[in-house]
Amino acid sequence: MADNSSPDYEALCLRAEAERRREAELRRQAEEREAEEKVRSQPTTLGELIKGCHDSFSRPLQVGTPSRSTKGSIPPPTGKYCPMSLRFWSNCPAQLQEIYDAVSTYLQPTGRDAPRLFTSLHVLNELGRRYSSRKLRSEKDLENYERAAVEDHVQDIIAELCKIPDA
C-alpha cells in the first residue's frame, strides 16, 4: 500500500532535471548575449566599418518634405568650393575601386586577420540612431550628417594609413 504523504521522487527528479535544463538554457543565452555585446563593442575592421556606416547612416537617411525645409534664397558659396560646370566622370567607378583596393592592401591584408582599428559597431549604431531620428531639412543638417557619417570616419582611415610607413 502506497503512502500518500511520501514525496513522489520521480516527479521531483523530473522537476529538478527541467530546472537544470532551464538554468543551462538561461546561462547559454546570457553567454550568447555577452559574446554579441563583445563583438558590438570591439573596434571594427575596415570592412566592418564601411558596412556599419552604410547600415547605420546611409540606409536610414531621410530627407524632409520641401514644405517643412528651410526656405529663402541660396546664399553665395563664399569660402566654399563651388563648381562652375559639371562634367561626366566616366572612369569614376574604376578610380574609386582602385583607391579602395590600395587602402584594403594595408588595412585588410589578404591572408591575415584585418586589424581592428576603427569605431565599434555599438558607437556606429548609436550615432546612426541619433542622425536617423531627424530628417534632413537644411544645409546645416546635411553638413552635420556629412561630418558624422563620412568625414570623421574617412579621417580615421587616413590617420591609420599615415601610421603605416609603406602606405
Q: What pLDDT digit, counting tens, does each position of 96-118 carry?
A: 999 999 999 999 988 899 999 99
Q: Please determine, for residue 7, whether its predicted confidence score (pLDDT) is greater than 80.
A: no
CA dihedral (34, 38, 41, 44) in degrees, to 10, reads -150
Closest CA to 41 of 160, 124, 157: 124
- Report the alpha-carbon distance of residue 128 to residue 54 in Å, rounded: 9
- Report the alpha-carbon distance of residue 59 to residue 128 in Å, rounded: 10
Q: Which residue has the higher pLDDT, 91 or 12?
A: 91
- Report the alpha-carbon distance of residue 108 to residue 53 in Å, rounded: 17
> What's the predicted TM-score (pTM) here?
0.72
Would you place residue 5 in the very low, low, confident or very high pLDDT band (cuts 50, 70, 90)? low
90 — phi, psi (to 5°)? -65, -35
Dump pLDDT digits (tens) for 62-101: 888 877 777 777 788 888 888 889 999 999 999 999 999 9
Dump pLDDT digits (tens) for 16-52: 999 999 999 999 998 898 888 887 789 999 999 999 9
Closest CA to 52 of 164, 157, 141: 157
What pLDDT score does 72 carry? Answer: 75
Three-state SS at 63 = strand
Q: Which residue has the higher pLDDT, 167 or 43?
A: 43
What pLDDT score does 4 carry? Answer: 61
What pLDDT score does 76 carry? Answer: 84
DSSP assigned state of 55:
I
Would you place residue 6 in the very low, low, confident or very high pLDDT band (cuts 50, 70, 90)? low
Please provide the distance, in angstroms rounded to a whole number, between the alpha carbons at the two ends of the chain.
Answer: 88
The angle subtended at Cα 10 by Cα 7 and Cα 15, nearest 5°, is 90
